[in-house]
Amino acid sequence: MLAFNNLETPMEEPAWRLLIEHLPQHLRSRFVYAPKKVTVRGLGVLKPEQQLSNLIDWLGAMQTGLLAG
């Protein structure tokens, strides 16, 4: 069973702020940044396939925003 709760990351907060700008406002509260860790809230209630699908969509939105900006 897949279970995504935390994403470990070496990024600093300014980089994180740049990424989160490209998410829709209603999704921003799901992501909680702490030094070297991003917690994605609310995924545990979803089926594993939906967890993965949501993460792919959300991270893709961040990537698209960075490439466009």
Q: Strand 31-34 relative to strand 37-40: parallel, antiparallel, unpaired?
A: antiparallel
- Taking only Cα atoms into account, the Rg of the chain, rounded to an integer number of angstroms, comes to 12
Domain count, the chain: 1
Q: Mapping DSSP to helix (H, G, I), strand (E, B) and coil, where does residue 34 land? A: strand
Assess if residue 51 is contained within a domain: yes
Q: What is this structure's pTM?
A: 0.72
Region 4-13 average pLDDT = 70
User: Given a cut of 80, is residue 4 above it in pLDDT?
Assistant: no
Contact 65, 21 (CB under 8 A): yes
Query: Which residues on neighbouring strands pair with residue 37, listed in sequence order?
Result: 8, 34
Domain that holds residue 61: 6-68
Assess if residue 15 is contained within a domain: yes
Using one digit for the tens of pLDDT, what is the confidence trace for 27-41?
899 988 888 788 888
Question: For residues 15 and 19, what is the distance between their CA atoms, to the nearest angstrom?
Answer: 6
Contact 22, 66 (CB under 8 A): yes
